[in-house]
Each structure stands twice: as C-alpha cells, then as structure tokens.
Amino acid sequence: MKIILLGPPGSGKGTQAKRLEARHGLVQVSTGEILREAVASESLLGKTIKNTMAAGNLISDDLVLEVLERRLAEPDCKDGVVFDGFPRTIAQAEALNDIFSEAERAVDAVIMLEVDDVVLISRIEQRAKEAVDGKVRSDDRVEVLKNRLSAYYEWTAPIIPFYEARGLLWRVDGMREVHQVTDAIETIVSQI
C-alpha cells in the first residue's frame, strides 16, 4: 500500500503518518526529515540545501528525487509506504508515477488534510516554541511560515487537481481532534 499525505505545513501530516506506520506496517518516508538529517550531518547535500531550507523554500526537484529514490530502494519500503511531505510539485508527482510505473498502482490514495491558514499559523507558532532536544526547528520560526505557506500554495496545491483527476484524492478535515483525523483516515484506508 502506498499512501500520500498532502496538506500545508502544520496540517498534521507527520503525526498521522506515524499513526499509519504503527497501525498498518507502512514506512513513513518524510523527505523533510531526510533533508534535515543531511543538514545536521553537514554532508555536501546538507551544505547545499541548508539556506534554502532555513528560508522555508522548496529544495530542487532533482535533489529531492535523488534522496527519495535512494530511500525507496531500501528493503523496508517494500511492504508499503506513507509519504509525508512528498510530492510537493507536479514534477515530483509525475516522477513518482515513473518510479512505480511497473506497479499496478503508483499510489493507492492521496489524503488531503485540510486546515485553515489561521489555524496553521497558530500551530506553527506553538511548534516554534517547543524545543526538540533543546533545539527549535529552524524552519519553524514564525517569519519563515509565510514562505512555507506561499511555497505550498504556489507549488504544492496544484497537485490536488492532479490527483483528483485520477480519482485518488480523499479530503479530511484536519482541524478536528487528532484522534478524529486518525479515525477519518482509517475509514479511507479501509476502503482502498
């Protein structure tokens, strides 16, 4: 099973991806997480993308696809994947279809977590205050939020009609309680 969680920054994709991972034995593939690790390890890739990530802008499709393909080639991805933060552009969505062109279906469902901007901003402000291991995620500073949201609307939102046209899009109200969002996702998964 391959599921994509789509939604603006702060919509709860990471939380719900972890729950899908635990309940269905899927592997969470978060390109944001992989890229953050590259920055932390100060690899060549990390140094190349550090400033772009810190500013809340998207990393180029070429670089993202390179790390994604490497991750998908690992054996744990064979039994199913939940994509969190990928694809973020139409080009990435098309590339994903190419990667799985041999499979019966490239993707089983695209679940869109819908959250109003006002709610997103307050969630991101909250997350910016919460330190993880003593460190605040540098791309969660409130002033970066505008960039992340505008990148979402400019590049990622066009993916919605892309998948809708293919009959794969499911919408979930992401402003409900976390467990209610999980229940709505479970109902979708039981139908695919």
- From residue 190, alpha-carbon distances to 5, 90, 163, 184, 186 in Å are 16, 27, 19, 10, 6
Is 12 a residue that touches ligand AMP (CB under 6 A)? Answer: no
Among 85, 109, 128, 184, binds ligand AMP (CB under 6 A): 85
Minimum distance of ligand AMP from residue 183's CB (angstroms): 24
Is 4 a residue that touches ligand AMP (CB under 6 A)? Answer: no
In 3D space, the residue among 94, 41, 31 whose CA is nearest the CA of residue 63 turns out to be 31
Strands 169-173 and 2-6: unpaired
Minimum distance of ligand AMP from residue 22's CB (angstroms): 19
Q: What is the DSSP-derived secondary structure letter of residue 154?
A: I
Residues 144 and 83: their CA atoms lie apart, in Å, by: 23
Minimum distance of ligand AMP from residue 55's CB (angstroms): 8
Is 71 a residue that touches ligand AMP (CB under 6 A)? Answer: no
Q: Residue 2 class from Cβ within 10 Å (0-12 exposed, 13-18 middle, 19+ buried)?
A: buried
No. of helices (H) and no. of strands (E), the chain = 9, 5
Among 6, 26, 58, 181, binds ligand AMP (CB under 6 A): 58
Is 140 a residue that touches ligand AMP (CB under 6 A)? Answer: no
Pick out residues in 149-168 that bind ligand AMP (CB under 6 A).
none
User: In this complex, which beta carbon is closest to ligand AMP, that of residue 59 or of residue 112?
Assistant: 59
In 3D space, the residue among 61, 191, 167 whose CA is nearest the CA of residue 49 turns out to be 61
Among 7, 8, 12, 32, binds ligand AMP (CB under 6 A): 32
Is 123 a residue that touches ligand AMP (CB under 6 A)? Answer: no
Contact assessment for residue 80 and residue 1, using Cβ atoms and an 8 Å cutoff? yes
Among 2, 19, 71, 88, binds ligand AMP (CB under 6 A): 88
Is 53 a residue that touches ligand AMP (CB under 6 A)? Answer: yes
**Residues making contact with ligand AMP (CB under 6 A):** 9, 31-32, 35, 52-53, 56-59, 64, 85-86, 88, 92, 139, 148
